[in-house]
Structure 1
Amino acid sequence: MKINLFVLYGGKSVEHEVSLRTAFTVLNAIDRETYDVYPVYITREGVWCCDGLQKQKPGSMDELASLGGNDRAGNAAASIGGVLLHYFSIPGKRVALPLLHGSYGEDGTVQGLLELLDMPYVGNGVLGAAATLDKDVAKRLLDQAGIGQTRYISFSLEEWLEKGPALIEKAERELGLPCYVKPATLGSSIGISRCQDVRELAEGIEEAFRYDRKLVIEREIRGREIQVAVMGNDRPIVSLPGEFIHRHTFFDFESKYMDKELVMSIPASLPEGVTARIRELALQAYRALCCSGLARVDFFLDADGELYCNEINALPGFTGTSMYPVMWERTDGTTYAELIGKLIDYAFMRHADKGTIRYTR
């Protein structure tokens, strides 16, 4: 029998559109001889929509966002209950594939629901998802693991309202200018500002607080940004490194998803020994943040050959311009469809392993 595969996408997140792009690419790549695919679209208001088994591959992203099956203007809780009752309870082997970037999907919330349902799911668990999405928490854990990072400070909206001028002075003194202001729990470069003076720094902080209640400010590292893909549970493996060749000083949302001139360089041309060092550091970071399933680890390499871990993305993009799947194809020949299959296999392995834990005395 085929495996029932529930693909979750959209979501109550600023990264809703990115999730649609990822879902469109993945749904067109899934092996339909192995899986019966049930797309589950989550609206920007958090309502879950499912039309049942998807017999044909989607022709457009608009099609993905037009699923019915529930009252689109209805109650989020009722819609979730309806999807769980009518579809997640279908007999047979089942697994979920969350393709939800950012809030309410990449942060451990959906993972917690799937744990309660005792359903295998692709990607990081509750702790790994929550820790990696929160840049402040992730940086503290990486610090404890001894993994080099750029200098940074972090503070909450409440702290900003209480002592804003002092925090501006601290950032300028400890980090220097230019620097980067980032919402603590978002990806895709949304809400991030490159600030070259104090005025821009204040504006960047206000912008970041539109999307979050905590932020981080980082010293700028001038150099190359190198990425590696990691996959696996207890014994993860690492791809060859890659980098985007581009002309942008700041690789923002438009640069990542709209620039038609982006060039992927895989494997990245690196000095002797640097590739091995990056791959080893990526494994250390993956374990330090309790990751499982998959992640992409990003580094800066400066002109002196120093490596700095920039961040870990627990749900890297799978769009047509995303690095993660291409790095695996260039590393060992894994195709897009094969990669999805491997990630699903890791989900089943982790679920089986957790099934050996005792919950009674």
Structure 2
Amino acid sequence: MKTNLYVLYGGRSIEHEISIISATAVLNAVDKSKYNVYPVFITKEGQWCPFGKLNNNIEKEKELELSSDKSITQSMGDFIKSIDGNEKNIVFPVLHGNNGEDGTVQGLLELIDIPYVGNEVLSSALCMDKTMTSDILNAHNIPQARYTSIKKYQWDKDLESTLDNLLNDVNLPVFVKPANAGSSVGISKATTRDELIDSINLAFTYDVKLLIQEEVVGKEVETCIIGNNYPKASLSGELEMEDAFYDYEAKYIKKAAVPVIPAKLDIETSKRVREIALKTYEILDCRGIARVDIFVTPENKILVNEINTMPGFTSISMAPMLWQKTDESSFKDLVERLIDYALERYDEKTSISKVKVTN
């Protein structure tokens, strides 16, 4: 009997459109002779819209955009009721950003007892919040750029005092980042006090908490980690960019970057980058997959920048390209491995829950 595979995409996130692009690639890569594939679109308003069984590949991403006149709770309830608990089911949340990559959907899937691809509730929530990620890595002595954080209520209450305190912790130039966002949305660089005010005001339109990080002079390299109890690190790669900062427009509109795999690092530095990426993954208790982004300075100093628990799966995304270069895994191979990791983790957890305690 085939396994039912439900692919969630879209979502109430500023990365909604990127999720649709990623989902298209995943849906077209899934082995439909092995799985009954059911795409489930989540609108920007939060309604869950079942596509029905997918028998053929998606030609255009627009095919996946659906609508519903049902409420959020009713549409979610209908989706849950449609799942036959007597059959073998698994969910692939191809969701980026808030309300999908942050532990919320993962918590729902835990409650209804369905295995799912990717990270669990805790690791998803921690890694989504850049400030919490930085604090935990700092506690484990993982090297990072100097950083601080501020909250919107502090900024609204006393801008000048908050700014003074902030500049006591970090030195300009800095990057201002919404704590809970991806795809470089809402991130900007500030080199002066006035620019910093503008950058903070911009970032606060995306989140109520910000990470302020000192600029690092060097290159950023990316390493994709996959696995559960015995995770593996891919080769590291880098992007040669036209723009000084690889923002949302450069990533998805201009596509102004050329991937270089492996990254241009000496052998020893490359080894250290992969080791630190793997250690970061383990400290944050990741499962399934994550991409760890690391700065390497001209002096080969290594600083962890951030971690993405559901990295992009578009045609220009690094994660699949890194594994293709590492062990010749195709995109289809990677999708299948992630599903296998999800089932492996679920089986491990359920085997423990079935153990009866006797006196």
State TM-score, norm by structure 2: 0.96
The alignment partner of 1:6 has SS state of: strand
Amino acid at match of 2:212: I
Query: 1:95 is matched with which residue?
Result: 90
Amino acid at match of 1:337: K
Query: 1:81 is matched with which residue?
Result: 77
CA distance in 2, matches of 1:79, 1:350: 28
The alignment partner of 1:355 has SS state of: helix
CA distance in 2, matches of 1:59, 1:350: 33
The alignment partner of 2:236 has SS state of: coil
Q: CA deviation at 1:170?
A: 3.0
The alignment partner of 1:241 has SS state of: strand
CA distance in 2, matches of 1:247, 1:174: 31
The alignment partner of 1:155 has SS state of: strand
Structure 2, unmatched stretches of 5+, are none
The alignment partner of 1:316 has SS state of: coil
The alignment partner of 2:212 has SS state of: strand
Please say if residues 118 and 288 of structure 2, whose CA atoms lie closer than 8 Å, have aligned partners that are also in contact: yes
Please say if residues 250 and 256 of structure 2, whose CA atoms lie closer than 8 Å, have aligned partners that are also in contact: no
Query: 2:27 is matched with which residue?
Result: 27
CA distance in 2, matches of 1:164, 1:111: 37
- Name the stretch that deviates more: 244-253 or 130-139: 244-253
Amino acid at match of 1:176: N
| Superposition map of 1:189-268 within 5 A | 189-268=184-263
Q: CA deviation at 1:305?
A: 1.0
Please say if residues 41 and 51 of structure 2, whose CA atoms lie closer than 8 Å, have aligned partners that are also in contact: no
Q: CA deviation at 1:260?
A: 4.0
Q: CA deviation at 1:262?
A: 2.0
Q: CA deviation at 1:168?
A: 1.7
Query: 1:128 is matched with which residue?
Result: 123
From the superposition, tell whether residues 260 and 190 of structure 1 become closer, same or farther in structure 2 (CA, over 3 Å).
Answer: closer
Please say if residues 51 and 64 of structure 2, whose CA atoms lie closer than 8 Å, have aligned partners that are also in contact: no
Q: CA deviation at 1:90?
A: 6.3
The alignment partner of 1:46 has SS state of: coil
Deviations along 1:257-298, one digit per CA (max 9) or x if unpaired, are 123442111111211301110111011101111111100000
- Name the stretch that deviates more: 193-202 or 126-135: 193-202
Q: CA deviation at 1:31?
A: 1.5
Matched, 1:108 2:103: yes
Query: 1:143 is matched with which residue?
Result: 138
CA distance in 1, matches of 2:336, 2:353: 29
CA distance in 2, matches of 1:261, 1:149: 26
Amino acid at match of 2:50: C
Matched, 1:47 2:47: yes
From the superposition, tell whether residues 353 and 90 of structure 1 become closer, same or farther in structure 2 (CA, over 3 Å).
Answer: closer
Query: 1:312 is matched with which residue?
Result: 307
Query: 1:188 is matched with which residue?
Result: 183
Deviations along 1:77-133, one digit per CA (max 9) or x if unpaired, are 0001111112x2264211100011111100000000000111010000000000000
CA distance in 2, matches of 1:338, 1:97: 15
CA distance in 2, matches of 1:260, 1:184: 24
Q: CA deviation at 1:358?
A: 3.5
Q: CA deviation at 1:33?
A: 1.6
Structure 1, unmatched stretches of 5+, are none
CA distance in 1, matches of 2:77, 2:204: 33
CA distance in 2, matches of 1:159, 1:261: 36
Please say if residues 243 and 256 of structure 2, whose CA atoms lie closer than 8 Å, have aligned partners that are also in contact: no
CA distance in 2, matches of 1:283, 1:252: 25
Query: 1:335 is matched with which residue?
Result: 330
The alignment partner of 1:303 has SS state of: coil
CA distance in 2, matches of 1:290, 1:312: 12
Amino acid at match of 1:207: L
Matched, 1:324 2:324: no
CA distance in 2, matches of 1:51, 1:323: 28
Identical counterparts, % of pairs:
42
The alignment partner of 1:348 has SS state of: helix
Matched, 1:297 2:271: no
CA distance in 2, matches of 1:261, 1:215: 26
Please say if residues 221 and 296 of structure 2, whose CA atoms lie closer than 8 Å, have aligned partners that are also in contact: yes
- Name the stretch that deviates more: 91-100 or 294-303: 91-100
Q: CA deviation at 1:146?
A: 1.0
Cα RMSD (Å) of the superposition?
1.3
Q: CA deviation at 1:246?
A: 1.0
CA distance in 2, matches of 1:336, 1:226: 21
- Name the stretch that deviates more: 159-168 or 35-44: 159-168
CA distance in 1, matches of 2:199, 2:256: 27
Query: 2:156 is matched with which residue?
Result: 161
- Name the stretch that deviates more: 254-263 or 152-161: 254-263
